[in-house]
Structure formats: C-alpha cells, structure tokens
Amino acid sequence: MESVRREHCLKCGSVELTNYFHFRRGEDIHVYVRCAHCGEFVSRYRLVGYTSNEVYEGLIQKLNIARRRPSDRNVGEVEAFSKKVAETYDHVVKLGEEEEDQRRIEAIISRDYPETMHPDLRFDSTRMD
C-alpha cells in the first residue's frame, strides 16, 4: 500500500509550513513544524536521514569523495542516487496531487506504521479516519 498526505495545520488548515531543525550534539535531530499562516505548532519528528535538492553534493560528502579522487564508479553511484531521488519525488508529488490520503497523519502512522510512534503517544486511530 502506498499513500501521500501533505501536513496541514490543525488550527487553520494551511499547508504553508516552516520547519525548524533543532541540533544538540549527541542527540537526535528533531524537526519542529510551525504553521506559516497562523504560527501554531503543527508537529515534531525525529530526523533519521536527510536529502536536499543538492543531492549530488550531499552524496559526495556522504561517500567522502571530496578526500579522494572520484572514480567512474563513484560518479555513477552519485548520478544513480540523484536520479532515484528525483524520480521518487516526482512520483510522490503526482500521487499527492491525484489522490491525497484524507486521513490525518497521526491516523496513517498509528494504523499503518505503529512501530514508528513513541510508545507513550500511541492512540486509537480508528476514531480519526
């Protein structure tokens, strides 16, 4: 099963959101999401991986190519990774525009991916569809 849901402010319904990345040495990176329209707290999540629109540069750093001479294999890996990220992004946007999942994000996560929720925050998602 596959679905897409844009994050919405529960107060005003806006999808115009701002991400605040919180960095503390030795701790997980957390992202706090704030509504750009009304300023309301929307969500917080833990960052596990990150890819920006500068995929090539990010992967070069990840592969540590900057310290050694890039080989054809390394360049091929970077190009394949960049292409996969771009293709997945296009697919997700198209899916979201064609058939966005109407359940709240909390309902999607707790029903379809319960292992990702903090144990203290699990709840009955059947009431949220």
127 vs 117, more confident: 117
Q: Indicate whether this model's pTM tops 0.85.
A: no
Count the Cβ atoms, other than its own, within 10 Å of residue 61.
11
Residue type present at position 37: H
Give pLDDT tens digits for 41-77.
999 888 877 666 666 666 666 666 555 555 666 667 7
Least confident stretch, 29-43, 50-64, 78-92:
50-64
Q: Residue 5: which of 67, 96, 87 has the closest Cα?
A: 96
Q: Is 49 exposed, middle or buried (0-12, 13-18, 19+ CB in 10 A)?
A: exposed
